[in-house]
Chains A and B, each alone.
Chain A
Amino acid sequence: NAGVTQTPKFRVLKTGQSMTLLCAQDMNHEYMYWYRQDPGMGLRLIHYSVGEGTTAKGEVPDGYNVSRLKKQNFLLGLESAAPSQTSVYFCASGHPGWEAFFGQGTRLTVV
């Protein structure tokens, strides 16, 4: 039982490049979330999904897109990376009222 798995774990991008972060969960959770973590700040919600085929904006959605084509996967895309998107990204899954399960994080540097 892997829980929540994020790939990749590390990535360096040049400004303007694009990439996709993959989050996979094997717990049959309906809800999935993408957060970013920056020094001196709490985790901030980028986008979330309450079920397959649905997505919604969080607190800091600009510059990111997401898709939830399969219940177990939640993809976070950066179409044109900017240095301000240098951060550690966490995926989580769960359901309101249940425990929250987090992935190990993806450290992204945009140069």
Chain B
Amino acid sequence: KNEVEQSPQNLTAQEGEFITINCSYSVGISALHWLQQHPGGGIVSLFMLSSGKKKHGRLIATINIQEKHSSLHITASHPRDSAVYICAVRGRSQGNLIFGKGTKLSVKP
């Protein structure tokens, strides 16, 4: 079983829809990252969380440490949000990131 599981694997939405991507992990963590990867492009860090909730523009990330679960929400989705969204956790006992396989989001106009 992977230490970091994301769902769904693929997601297609209509422009304007509210989107949720989920991440569950099985290890104790010191931090959780949400990353964005555009087709053919590099990887950009969106959020780093260790508790609670963070918001940046139309993006909201939440984490529940007790449940070992995080969600990434996108409000009023737009075609430019189409990308792969990756969840990664930093274990308490090691400094390296453990990555999920990513969620491929496609937002149709």
A interface with B by C-beta (< 8 Å): 31, 33, 40-45, 48, 50, 58, 90, 92, 96-105
B86 x A102 contact (CB < 8 A):
no
Interface of A is mostly: loop
Binding site of B, secondary structure by majority: helix, strand, loop or mixed? strand
Q: Looking at B31, B35, B48, B95, which has the most chain A CB atoms within 10 Å of its CB?
A: B95
**In the assembled complex, which residues on chain B have CB atoms less than 8 Å from the CB atom of A96?**
30-31, 90, 95
Indicate whether B20 reaches chain A with its CB closer than 8 angstroms: no
How many chain B residues sit at the interface, stated as a range, is 20 to 34
Seen from chain B, the residues whose Cβ lies within 8 Å of a Cβ on chain A are: 2, 4, 30-31, 33, 35, 41-45, 48, 86, 88, 90, 95-102
**CA of A102 to CA of B45 in the docked complex: distance in angstroms?**
8
Q: List 23 A-B contacts (CB under 8 A).
A: A31-B95, A42-B88, A43-B86, A43-B88, A43-B99, A50-B95, A58-B96, A90-B42, A96-B90, A96-B95, A97-B31, A98-B48, A99-B33, A99-B48, A100-B33, A100-B48, A101-B45, A102-B35, A102-B42, A102-B43, A102-B45, A105-B42, A105-B43
